[in-house]
Every structure is written in structure tokens, then in C-alpha cells.
């Protein structure tokens, strides 16, 4: 805590009071520190694909372009890296919009279970042979007030992570169950899991348990940070439970629209 004192004087230069300004320096320092880290992270994330691209382009310029076998492979790499940078910049733009609170959520009343069902169907159609899907969805109508595009983005991200981090396959379980005021959604996998002390950090910007693996899969490390912003903008919460080598469950809640009619 920092304190600033100023003496207040009247027109005869008599002291008639003083002003104390207390400011929480640790909080300011923390924000400043986070900002510095963020800028440094962004720079690193952009430098990696750029240096990769530079060396491949250099090789092509130095003659690899003439090799019918090598040239397409090298061009493929530069294309993948470009795609990753576009994804990264799009994710960053979305986060920055949300920081400025001008997300512009277009909320509507949605019956959650059929909405969730369609998203699961889309993944189930393209699922790998070694994966099974189980649905434990409420039979009740569960109405929520949501921006469908944004919640679709959250679900897409969490479900694709469950698939991405389950190299050996296994079962993915989808749940949507009502509490008294909130709907609780969970997506469980039997994949790699993660160490206990990392579970809360995966919602931080750029945090990855295994940097190399995430990169290899084309991740930006921002998906869950965006998911958290979206869920919090809907007045819900998001968290995870995980066991290394056993699997991960990601949970989130959304406020239910009360179905009780008000009597006059
Ligand atoms: P990424 O683009 O790296 O997947 P995310 O923000 O979506 O970024 O996730 C952050 C990190 O959390 C991932 O890099 C991974 O280490 C971890 N993670 C997320 N979901 C899972 C999961 N289902 N199983 C294991 N690890 C996960």
C-alpha cells in the first residue's frame, strides 16, 4: 500500500487540512507485470512461426524450389505456420474486444439440451474409431439466455481439447444437468490429464501444460482463456478437474431461466 499526503492551505497559507491518497501498489504492480508478460508471450508466439517460415523460405530460395518432392512439403509448412498466425491474431483480437467489454453478446432464449445435442452430433460424425461418446443429458427443458455463437465456440474448444488430448481414444462423456439456479455442463475425457497444480492455470492466456504438444496440434494456448471470458460474460463459471494419465473433466455453469410463472 502506498500513501500520498498533501497539505491543504487556505489563502493565508494556514494549514487547514490534508488529503491522503492510498493506492494499492501491489495490485497495480501485478497488473503491470501481467501486461508485460502478455506482450512478451505474444511476441514469442509470433516469432516462432515467423522464424520457422523464414528458414523454409530461405531453403526454397536457395534451390529447394526446384525439387519436386521437397518444395510442396516446405510450402505446406509455411502455409500451416501462416494459418496458425492468423488463428493467433484472431484469438488475440477477440480477447482484446472482450477486455474492452464490447463483446456485443447477442443473447436469446435457448433450450440447451437440443442445442448441445447438435454440437455433439457434429463431433460424433467425425469421431475417430477409437473414441466413444456417451450423453447424459437432462430430459427436462433447460432454458438459458445465451449468445449461441459464443457458447458454440466454448463447446467447440472444450470438446476439441478432449479429443486432441486423448491420443489413445477412450470415452468422452457429455453431461447437462440442472441445479436450482444454474445449468451445469461437463465434458470428460480419458486422455492425458494433467498434474494437479496446473488444472487452474489452463484458463490463463498462453498457459499450456505441454508447449510442444499444443503447438504440434496447432493450438494457440488461448482457447480456454477465451472460453472463460465468454462464460463469465454470461454470469457463469468454468473450471476443470484432472488426473494425470487418467483424464480431464471441464465443467461450466450458466444461469437457468426460471420456468415458474409469476402470479399477479
Ligand atoms: P491449446 O491451444 O494449447 O489447446 P487451450 O487454451 O485450449 O490451448 O488449453 C490450454 C492447455 O490446457 C492445453 O495446452 C493443454 O495443456 C491443457 N488442456 C486443455 N484441455 C485438456 C484436456 N482435455 N486434457 C488434457 N489437457 C488439456
Predicted ipTM? 0.98
* Residue 259 Cα to ligand 1 middle (Å): 36
Which alpha helices (H) appear in the chain, and where do they start and end?
25-61, 70-99, 112-125, 148-164, 211-216, 223-233
* Residue 180 Cα to ligand 1 middle (Å): 30
Which set of grid coordinates corresponds to residue 13? 497559507
Output the pTM of the full model: 0.83
Pocket test residue of 202, 203, 250 for ligand 1, highest count of atoms within 8 A of CB: 202
Pairing of strands 15-23, 2-9: antiparallel
Of all atoms in ligand 1, which is nearest to the CA of residue 203?
A: 6
Of all atoms in ligand 1, which is nearest to the CA of residue 225?
A: 6
- In terms of Cβ atoms closer than 10 Å to its own Cβ (0-12, 13-18, 19+), residue 38 is middle
> pLDDT tens digits, the chain, 264 residues: what are they?
667 777 777 777 777 777 777 777 788 888 888 889 888 989 988 998 999 999 999 999 999 999 999 999 999 999 999 999 999 999 999 888 888 776 678 999 999 999 999 999 999 999 999 999 999 999 999 999 999 999 999 999 999 999 999 999 999 999 999 999 999 999 999 999 999 999 999 999 999 988 877 777 778 899 999 999 999 999 999 999 999 999 999 999 999 998 765 555
The binding-site residues of ligand 1, defined as CB within 6 angstroms of any ligand atom, are: 157, 161-162, 165, 189, 191-194, 202, 207-210, 214, 219-225, 248
pLDDT at 34: 85
CB 223 within 8 A of CB 206: no
Amino acid at each position: 500500500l502506498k500513501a500520498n499526503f498533501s497539505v491543504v492551505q487556505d489563502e493565508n497559507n494556514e494549514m487547514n487540512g490534508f488529503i491522503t491518497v492510498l493506492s494499492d501498489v501491489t495490485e497495480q504492480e501485478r497488473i503491470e507485470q501481467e501486461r508485460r508478460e502478455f506482450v512478451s508471450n505474444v511476441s514469442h508466439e509470433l516469432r516462432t512461426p515467423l522464424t520457422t517460415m523464414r528458414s523454409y523460405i530461405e531453403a526454397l530460395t536457395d534451390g529447394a524450389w526446384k525439387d519436386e518432392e521437397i518444395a510442396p512439403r516446405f510450402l505446406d509448412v509455411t502455409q500451416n505456420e501462416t494459418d496458425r498466425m492468423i488463428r493467433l491474431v484472431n484469438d488475440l483480437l477477440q480477447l482484446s474486444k472482450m477486455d474492452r467489454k464490447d463483446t456485443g453478446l447477442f443473447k436469446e432464449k435457448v433450450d440447451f439440451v437440443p442445442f448441445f445435442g447438435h454440437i455433439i452430433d457434429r463431433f460424433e460424425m467425425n469421431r475417430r474409431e477409437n473414441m466413444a461418446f456417451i450423453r447424459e443429458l437432462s430430459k427436462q427443458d433447460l432454458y438459458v439466455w445465451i449468445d449461441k455463437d459464443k457458447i458454440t465456440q466454448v463447446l467447440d474448444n472444450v470438446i476439441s481439447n478432449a479429443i486432441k488430448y486423448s491420443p489413445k481414444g477412450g470415452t468422452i462423456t457429455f453431461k447437462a444437468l440442472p441445479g436450482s439456479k444454474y445449468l451445469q455442463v461437463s465434458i470428460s475425457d480419458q486422455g492425458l490429464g494433467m498434474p494437479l497444480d496446473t488444472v487452474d492455470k489452463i484458463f490463463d492466456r498462453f498457459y499450456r501444460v505441454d508447449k510442444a504438444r499444443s503447438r504440434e496440434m496447432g493450438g494457440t494456448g488461448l482457447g480456454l482463456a477465451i472460453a472463460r471470458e465468454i462464460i463469465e460474460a454470461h454470469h457463469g463459471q468454468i473450471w476443470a478437474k484432472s488426473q494425470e494419465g487418467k483424464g480431464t473433466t471441464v465443467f461450466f455453469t450458466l444461469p437457468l431461466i426460471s420456468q415458474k410463472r409469476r402470479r399477479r
